[in-house]
């Protein structure tokens, strides 16, 4: 049986590259954002604004994705800041994925700017894997105007790791026989699914490189880190049997979070944020015909410490007020009442396609009341779908309507409302 050939294709600094390509090719601007210190970020006046993408010259100033914009401006006062254009990014992503499907019908989109492509059996069409990858890289640049990294291997994990090697605009291979030379010397933190907390645990065990992890005792790792230890041990040894799946898998949960423009220091302020989050999460659940029986919240303090808490409901629901009541209960149990908060999030998991409830005298909710709440939510959803989010909002948001549908997604990505964008750029 022929060895599988998997590509991982990742757009370099996608948001900035797509904006730059559009401005040069469509708007006719002389300055290419990729050639000057520039970033994609939100409103300069808002504390919540973070760097979404950066140019190579901006990277030389020590600016990195995810840092607050005000810090980046301190490093480079002349930094050119452009706002995100999600309509453009969605259109660019569609063109990107369509281009990949010209090389193979088996494309699994991993995020808006990256995908795996199963190139097994395409050698007669496109030649050897590296030759095919070079053709792909050149066509994307010549026809769509941005660069990509292409990682090549026999499985998805190693292809993704290869794609993260030197950037931008490169093709790299990482086959099983190349692990010892190319993969094992890397810091263990660079392994897929190894975060900061796992890195610290591994370091305490004397494991500092991916090679150290690959050669460690699997049983010890599983005892210390549980199932996750076993998983990353297999990853360090280059083992991953996942197939490239062309169709997206069904959601396992629905969540939303927001970074506030101010420090949340009272329960009343937090409740207002949670209500806005539950509005968006509940709407998405109902739109997909899903209910959930587990609600969790996530908090991030002003000094970037994180905490989370969850509860199992007496039934599966998608009613906004029930989700909100659960979030408030969790918040009261988790928050110390003093520490300022800068980010709050809500997630609903343990999904079901049908609602179910346990009704009792203590719940204060009869079957008839439950049905009325559900019908009310569905009526509000229908109005918002037809006339826009702002057609109706709760009285709590009368003085501040902007926050009544809160969350990390832009309004465009929540509603699908677009402004005209050229088909090609």
The position carrying tokens 């730059």 is: 20
Nearest to 116 by CA among 157, 147, 175: 157
Helix or strand holding residue 383 (H, E): helix 367-387
Q: How far apart are CA 112 and CA 122, in angstroms?
A: 25
Which residues are known catalytic residues? 114
Q: How far apart are CA 340 and CA 324, in angstroms?
A: 21
Burial (Cβ within 10 Å: 0-12, 13-18, ≥19) of residue 126: middle
Nearest to 153 by CA among 123, 116, 181: 116
Q: How far apart are CA 188 and CA 215, in angstroms?
A: 12
Our CA dihedral for 111, 114, 120, 124, rounded to 10 degrees, sits at 140
CA distances (Å), origin 146, targets 29, 41, 64: 16, 19, 20
The residues with which 11 forms a beta bridge, in sequence order, are 148
Exposure pattern of 377-396 as b/e (b: 16+ CB <10 Å)?
beebbeebeeeebeeebeee
CA distances (Å), origin 45, targets 42, 50, 253, 261: 9, 11, 33, 10
Q: What is the DSSP string of 24-90?
A: HHTS--SS-GGGSSEEE-S-TT-TT-B--EE-HHHHTTT--TTSBHHHHHHH-TT-EEE---HHHHH
For 355, what's the count of Cα atoms within 13 Å in the CB-facing half-sphere?
17
3-state secondary structure of 111: strand
Residue 286 tokens read as 């109902």
């Amino acid at each position: 049986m022929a060895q599988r050939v998997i590509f991982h294709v990742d757009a370099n600094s996608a948001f900035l590259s797509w904006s730059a390509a559009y401005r040069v090719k469509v708007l006719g601007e002389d300055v290419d954002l990729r050639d000057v210190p520039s970033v994609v970020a939100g409103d300069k006046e808002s504390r919540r604004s973070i760097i979404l993408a950066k140019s190579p010259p901006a990277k030389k100033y020590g600016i990195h994705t995810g840092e607050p914009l005000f810090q980046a401006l301190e490093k480079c006062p002349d930094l050119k800041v452009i706002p995100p254009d999600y309509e453009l990014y969605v259109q660019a992503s569609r063109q990107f994925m369509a281009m990949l499907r010209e090389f193979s019908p088996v494309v699994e989109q991993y995020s808006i700017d990256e995908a795996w492509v199963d190139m097994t059996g395409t050698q007669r069409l496109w030649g050897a894997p590296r030759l095919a990858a070079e053709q792909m890289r050149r066509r994307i640049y010549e026809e769509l105007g941005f660069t990509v990294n292409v990682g090549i291997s026999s499985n998805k994990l190693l292809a993704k790791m290869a794609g993260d090697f030197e950037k931008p605009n490169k093709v790299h291979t990482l086959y099983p026989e190349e692990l010892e030379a190319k993969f094992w010397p890397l810091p263990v933190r660079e392994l897929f699914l190894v975060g900061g907390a796992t890195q610290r645990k591994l370091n305490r065990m004397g494991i500092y490189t991916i090679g150290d992890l690959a050669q460690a005792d699997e049983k010890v790792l599983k005892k210390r880190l549980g199932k996750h230890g076993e998983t990353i041990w297999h990853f360090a040894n280059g083992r991953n049997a996942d197939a490239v799946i062309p169709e997206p898998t069904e959601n396992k949960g629905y969540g939303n979070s927001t970074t506030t423009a101010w420090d949340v220091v009272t329960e009343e302020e937090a409740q207002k944020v949670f209500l806005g989050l539950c509005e968006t999460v509940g709407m998405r659940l109902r739109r997909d015909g899903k209910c959930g029986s587990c609600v969790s919240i996530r908090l991030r303090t002003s000094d970037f410490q994180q905490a989370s808490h969850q509860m199992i409901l007496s039934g599966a629901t998608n009613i906004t007020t029930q989700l909100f009541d659960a979030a408030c209960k969790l918040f009261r149990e988790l928050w110390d009442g003093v520490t300022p908060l800068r980010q709050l999030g809500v997630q609903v998991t343990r999904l079901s396609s049908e609602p179910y409830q346990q009704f009792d005298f203590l719940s204060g909710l009869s079957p008839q009341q439950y049905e009325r709440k559900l019908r009310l939510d569905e009526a509000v959803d229908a109005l918002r779908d037809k006339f826009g989010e702002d057609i109706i909002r709760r009285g709590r948001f009368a003085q501040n309507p902007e926050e009544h549908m809160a969350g990390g997604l832009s309004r465009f990505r929540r509603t699908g409302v677009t402004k005209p964008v050229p088909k090609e750029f």
